[in-house]
Amino acid sequence: MADVHKRPSRWLTAAVWGAGVLLSSILVQSVTGWGGDALAQLLNNSAQLPVTALTAALGLRLVLRGGLDSRERRAWLLLEVSFLLQVAGNGASLIQHLGGGPISFPSVPDHMFLLAIPFVVAGLLLLPAERRSRTDRLKLLIDALIVVAGACMALWYVEIGPLLEVPGVDPVVIAFSAGVPVLDLLLVFALITLVLRRPEAGAAVGLLGASMGLKVVADSSYTIALVQFGVFFGPGDWPFLLWAAGTFFSLLAVYRRMVPGASAQEGRGRRGRVSWLPYGAIAFAYALLAFVAREQSLYPLGGMILGAVVLTALVIARQVFAQRENRRLAVTDPLTGLSNRALITESLAGLTRQPVRDGRHGAVLLIDLDRFKPINDAYGHDAGDAVLLGVAAALRAVIRSGDTAGRLGGDEFAVVLPALPNRAAAEGIAQRLVDALRTPVVFGNQLLHVEASVGVAFHEEGVLDAEQLLAHADVAMYAAKRAGRGHYRVYTPDLDTRARDAELWRAVENNELVVHFQPVVDLSGGDCVAVEALVRWNHPERGLLYPGAFIELAEETGAVIPIGEWVLREACRQAAPWPVKLSVNLSAKQVVQPGLVETIGGILDETGFPAERLVLELTESVVLQPDEQTVARLSELRDRGIGISIDDFGTGYAALNYLRTLPVSVLKMDRSFVSAIDTDPDAYAIADAVVRLAHAYRLKVVAEGIETAGQARCLVEMGCVYGQGYHFARPMPGEALADFLAPARPGGH
Ligand code: C2E
Ligand code: MG
Ligand code: MG
């Protein structure tokens, strides 16, 4: 549903308040009796008119400018017609009153009010609500009809029936008097379906429903009092007060729909609240029947009514049990009889919605069997089933009422503990589970040994939903498995890191990494003279990940060592046939490895890649304070012909002395220097200075991150010879780079 963005102006809000005050005057007059019937009459006619007029005006604005979607607009358009008829009715009534003549029944206002009802009914039925399946809509219709049938009986007994019995009344009057309750019945139908349908714009529709509900109560009390007890209510009496309140609620409904935020979320989260309604209606209808039949003799009518009541009660009971059974089947795991994934997720969602507070801790345990698959494979499915049943029994033994134990699938189980006195309680349960599951399961004459790893996660501040909580438990469970199985582990954020780290190591093993290559070009001619190898991770779930998403973690945990080795080997393998140099990034962790020189030498031998074409890129942080061994290692590499370059130059600490002491041959000027050179003279001057500096140290400069022709031109002006950036080419897979290189000649930097 579209949201109505424009906030009503202050005067509008004031007008709505004013309307409320105006209508309260009717209440005050009624309570105090001040001014007698004459004033009551006048107030009733004159106070309602401005209010209904305001409602109609706001309704018009809502329909014309409310930003409603087409379906809701149609609904409000119909409601608007009813508001306008209401205004006409109130106006006509005021004119009649001021005219002072005798008022006949039915008169003009009566027609207006009557005519308004079908429009309200249609409007209410059209209001958009939750989407439902065909069966659901059919069920809804039947539910609504049951309620209306109950109301029909009541109406027939107390209103319409007696009306027909009144002798000598004009048929038009009878028809008209019966018309109101019949149309009201339609209104009741619309209201019931409205409640059952869970409309989208909750508060506004709620107010509208309340308004119509008040109207129905007022209408029927008025008629019932008249036909049953011969009591004639007049202005100032309570049905009139209800009518006035209804008028005000309609105004509030329209106003509320205009307020921003009256949006789709409002109507959510009330599932199952009204399913008792049809049963209530049946109970009501039978109560009425019993009341009417109380004076009848038991034979024949009384007994039969009693029989019908009992029969219906039994049918309802059967229905309720069937429903329960359906629900039970839908949420249990057929093998173990535990809850299934759906119910576990539901209870987890409930747990994550409860507030986090001391003395009531929510936790989930995730249990994964450690040796299930071999048992299943070796002894067959019956043995597997026996093990799963054993686990189910163990889970049942540790939970209390309010907890949920379930099987998520395969050999994975979960326990949801929504109300623990402290965190230690969850750990106690986890430990008991681990111990219990160590006991072997007896299967025929076999003893089957399984063990379980348990992950524990608590519902804490910052845990968003069931899925996240389960993911935490999963991380903890894997940590437990890594720690040697048959253990439990409580989730902590650093486990997350560890889990992701393990994932990184697996990525290398499973060949999930790929290398892309970005050309480095000669800025004056545009020829590709080198390529830089850049790693990417083809993550099985998250897709292609760039180094920004994992290199930092890999640096922290050391996974960057196998990753870097893999990249170097892969890049050398792919780039061997290309007539250009190859740059490979080396992390700080790699540089301090004692075996670095041997590793690189081995890879070069293995791939046949010539040392003179390899350049290793180091970041400034590595070379800022190099220890002696590092300098020695780098010198050895240099002696073998391998080039060393300083990557992202200028982003670290501006310590220049290392440029003299280290065997460096290339400076890669960071792209932060390049980004503004063609627009900002200061940036130009600084980049220029960097280029001069590099030349003073007899280093080649490669400018990074060149994105425009303007930047490239400036760099040429400065005497910077090489560059790299999206302006020339983005990093690309090896095959694409081979095509890119096709026209290029060998070169170097
Ligand atoms: P880097 O070594 O400075 O690599 C250049 C980065 O700048 C690359 O990002 C490249 O895609 C990006 N780039 C190139 N031209 C442009 C441009 O015109 N505009 C912009 N905005 N960006 C450009 P990428 O591939 O995301 O790599 C990021 C960093 O990750 C690299 O920065 C490098 O420090 C690190 N890295 C990449 N591969 C490896 C590796 O195999 N080992 C190690 N240790 N680090 C690596
Ligand atoms: Mg680099
Ligand atoms: Mg760089």
Token pair 């007696």 is at which residue? Answer: 162
Confidence of residue 729 (pLDDT cuts 50, 70, 90): very high
Question: In the predicted model, what is the mean pLDDT of the chain?
Answer: 86
Task: Output the pLDDT for position 163.
Answer: 75
Confidence of residue 291 (pLDDT cuts 50, 70, 90): confident
Task: Output the pLDDT for position 56.
Answer: 95
**CA distance linking residue 386 with residue 411, whole number of Å:** 12
Distance from the alpha carbon of residue 654 to the mean position of ligand 1, in angstroms? 21
CB 519 within 8 A of CB 737: yes
Task: Output the pLDDT for position 596.
Answer: 93
* Ligand 1 atom 43, closest CA: 585
**CA distance linking residue 541 with residue 200, whole number of Å:** 35
Atom of ligand 1 nearest to the CA of 670: 3
Is 84 near ligand 1, meaning CB less than 6 Å away?
Answer: no
pLDDT digits (tens, 9 = 90+) for 193-209: 887 776 766 788 888 88
Is 723 near ligand 1, meaning CB less than 6 Å away?
Answer: no
pTM: 0.47
CB 151 within 8 A of CB 225: no
Task: Output the pLDDT for position 602.
Answer: 95
Choose which residue among 618, 670, 704, 711 to substitute to test ligand 1 binding: the one with the highest number of ligand atoms within 8 A of its C-beta: 704
8-state DSSP, 9? P
Quick check: 95 pLDDT over 80? yes
Query: What average pLDDT does this structure show over 430-456?
Result: 90
Higher local confidence (pLDDT), 97 or 123: 123
Residue type, 634: L
CB 565 within 8 A of CB 603: yes
* Ligand 1 atom 44, closest CA: 587
Distance from the alpha carbon of residue 528 to the mean position of ligand 1, in angstroms? 18
Task: Output the pLDDT for position 628.
Answer: 86
Ligand nearest to the CA of 566: 1
Quick check: 400 pLDDT over 90? no
Q: In this prediction, what percent of the chain has a pLDDT beyond 70?
A: 93
Atom of ligand 1 nearest to the CA of 648: 3
Distance from the alpha carbon of residue 534 to the mean position of ligand 1, in angstroms? 6
Is 726 near ligand 1, meaning CB less than 6 Å away?
Answer: yes
In 565-651, which ranges are E strands?
581-585, 614-619, 643-649
* Ligand 1 atom 25, closest CA: 534
Ligand nearest to the CA of 535: 1
Contacts of 521 (CB under 8 A, 6+ apart): 527, 528, 529, 722, 723, 724, 728, 729
Distance from the alpha carbon of residue 667 to the mean position of ligand 3, in angstroms? 10
Quick check: 531 pLDDT over 50? yes
Crossing angle (nearest 10°) for helices 10-32 and 238-258: 170
pLDDT digits (tens, 9 = 90+) for 687-719: 999 999 999 989 999 999 999 999 999 999 999
Tokens of 540: 């099985």
CB 113 within 8 A of CB 216: no
pLDDT digits (tens, 9 = 90+) for 219-239: 888 888 877 787 888 888 888
Task: Output the pLDDT for position 681.
Answer: 93
Distance from the alpha carbon of residue 647 to the mean position of ligand 3, in angstroms? 5
Quick check: 9 pLDDT over 90? no
**CA distance linking residue 413 with residue 395, whole number of Å:** 9
Quick check: 309 pLDDT over 80? no
Atom of ligand 1 nearest to the CA of 706: 18
Atom of ligand 1 nearest to the CA of 546: 26
Task: Output the pLDDT for position 432.
Answer: 93
pLDDT digits (tens, 9 = 90+) for 97-111: 888 777 777 888 888
Quick check: 675 pLDDT over 80? yes
CB 30 within 8 A of CB 236: yes
**CA distance linking residue 634 with residue 596, whole number of Å:** 9
Choose which residue among 504, 508, 534 to substitute to test ligand 1 binding: the one with the highest number of ligand atoms within 8 A of its C-beta: 534
Is 648 near ligand 1, meaning CB less than 6 Å away?
Answer: yes
Nearest to 413 by CA among 359, 448, 368: 368
SS (H, E, C) 300-344: HHHHHHHHHHHHHHHHHHHHHHHHHHHHHHHHECCCCCCECHHHH
404-409 and 732-733 beta bridge pairing: unpaired
* Ligand 1 atom 30, closest CA: 547
Task: Output the pLDDT for position 181.
Answer: 83
Residue 543's alpha-carbon distances to 401, 538, 564, in angstroms, are: 43, 6, 20
Ligand nearest to the CA of 583: 2
Atom of ligand 1 nearest to the CA of 731: 11
Is 564 exposed, middle or buried, given 0-12, 13-18 or 19+ CB atoms closer than 10 A? buried
Distance from the alpha carbon of residue 658 to the mean position of ligand 3, in angstroms? 18
Strand partners, 534: 516
Is 548 near ligand 1, meaning CB less than 6 Å away?
Answer: yes
Is 582 near ligand 1, meaning CB less than 6 Å away?
Answer: no
CB 58 within 8 A of CB 255: yes
Choose which residue among 517, 536, 585 to substitute to test ligand 1 binding: the one with the highest number of ligand atoms within 8 A of its C-beta: 585
Query: What average pLDDT does this structure show over 286-293?
Result: 74
Highest mean pLDDT among 161-175, 289-303, 665-679: 665-679
Task: Output the pLDDT for position 341.
Answer: 92
Tokens of 522: 């000669």
Is 725 near ligand 1, meaning CB less than 6 Å away?
Answer: yes
Q: In this prediction, what percent of the chain has a pLDDT beyond 90?
A: 42
Crossing angle (nearest 10°) for helices 171-197 and 202-229: 150
Tokens of 659: 């440029």
Contacts of 662 (CB under 8 A, 6+ apart): 623, 626, 631, 634, 644
Distance from the alpha carbon of residue 518 to the mean position of ligand 3, in angstroms? 12
In sign, the C-alpha dihedral spanning 163, 169, 174, 176 is: negative
Confidence of residue 654 (pLDDT cuts 50, 70, 90): low
The least confident of 368-372, 414-418, 504-508, 625-629 is 625-629
Which run of H or E residues covers position 408?
strand 404-409
Contacts of 744 (CB under 8 A, 6+ apart): 527, 528, 579, 580
Distance from the alpha carbon of residue 731 to the mean position of ligand 1, in angstroms? 9
